Each structure stands twice: as C-alpha cells, then as structure tokens.
Amino acid sequence: MTITAPALLTFTADPVVDPALHAEILDLWVEVSNAGGAVGFVPPVTHEVVRPELLRHLVAMTEGRTRLVVGRDRDGRVAATAFLALNSHALMRHWLWVYTVMVAPGLQGRGAGRALMAAVADAARGIEGIDAIRLGCRGGLGLERFYVSCGYREVGRVPGAIRVAPGDDRDDVTMLLNLR
C-alpha cells in the first residue's frame, strides 16, 4: 500500500478524549458533513444534530467497545478521524467495523485519506484476534474507488438502502480488508 502524503497528517491511535478533542472532532464532523461528506448526515447539519452521534461513539470508547484513530495536521489541529468498533457477537469477534472515516475538506485529494486508512489498518492489526476490517459506504460518490485504493474490496451491496432525500436512494456498499 502506498502512502502518498504521510507528512500531511500525524496519526494517533486511542488518544485521551478530553473536552478539547471532543470539540475538535465535533467541529470536523460538522464541517465535513456540510461540505457534502457521506458521514451519516445530509447537509446542512449543526453541532446539535451531530453531537449525539459523537457521544454514542465516545460512550462506546469508555466501555472499551470502540477505538479511535485521529490525524492531526502540521498545526496540531484534528483533521481526520476513524472509529474502530469491536463486535460483541461471539462469532464475529475476529473482525471489526470502521465508522466515520473523514478528512478535513481542505486536505482532501492529497493522500491524507489513504494515510488515514493505513493508520486504521495498523491500529486494527494491533488488536489481538482481529483478522479483517469491514465498513459500509454510501453509493453514488465514488467512495468504493477510494477504499479499493486502500486495499479493500467490495463484498456486498444493498440497493437503495440509504435514502439521502425523497427520490434519492443510494446503495449501501460493504467493503472488506483482510489483514492477514
């Protein structure tokens, strides 16, 4: 896997989530969503709309069910995130989900996303017993191509499962990366 612009961001797995980091992730999530990013919302969104989703991730982190990878730019600002969610199902503990993959709009298109996914794969490899990473992405945006460029392959697609607006249904595409 090629990481084209590793110097753009510095990645940390499992940072301490203090109020400052919480606020920065929330700001990033709102900014990315309002720029049209497919991270759970349709623009326009506000901090109040996004905050409960972030809190859900953070609660799961405190319970040890979810891990976080954060990328900071050269000024130390949070500019990329991904959450890694472990499975509780006894028969599915050998793989994990990745959610909320995002890069600050100003840094997109320069290899930061691929570097983020490499950091995510490193973090997942560091978790005992994890053999694969699975994620879902919204169809119609070319995101499959991004994940393929990160080594993932498409393993499933539910037609029209994501309704971004009345009359605008998108496929829910499942991507998988084997780690071993």
Angstrom distances, CA of residue 10 to CA of 5, 31, 38, 87:
11, 20, 23, 27
Q: List the beta bridge partners of residue 69.
A: 13, 82
Task: Point out which span in 46-54, 61-69, 97-105, 158-166 binds ligand COA (CB under 6 A).
Answer: 97-105
Residue closer to ligand COA, measured from CB, 52 or 142: 142
146 contributes a contact to ligand COA by CB under 6 A:
yes
Positions in 1-60 near ligand COA (CB under 6 A): 32, 37-39
From CA 143, how far away is CA 147, in angstroms rounded? 6
Among 30, 69, 143, 177, binds ligand COA (CB under 6 A): 143
Q: What are phi and psi of 113, to 5 degrees?
A: -65, -45
In the bound complex, what is the minimum distance in angstroms from residue 15's beta carbon to ligand COA? 19
**Under 8 Å between Cβ of 81 and 66:** no
Q: List the beta bridge partners of residue 11.
A: 71
157 contributes a contact to ligand COA by CB under 6 A:
no
113 contributes a contact to ligand COA by CB under 6 A:
yes
**Closest residue to ligand COA, Cβ-based?**
113
What is the sign of the dihedral through the CA atoms of 16, 55, 75 and 99? positive
Task: Point out which span in 56-64, 66-74, 84-92, 103-111 binds ligand COA (CB under 6 A).
Answer: 103-111
108 contributes a contact to ligand COA by CB under 6 A:
yes
Please name the amino acid found at residue 122: D
Contacts of 11 (CB under 8 A, 6+ apart): 69, 70, 71, 72, 80, 115, 116, 119
In the bound complex, what is the minimum distance in angstroms from residue 180's beta carbon to ligand COA? 23
Size of site (CB under 6 A) for ligand COA: 21
Binding site for ligand COA (CB under 6 A): 32, 37-39, 101-103, 108-114, 137, 141-143, 145-146, 149
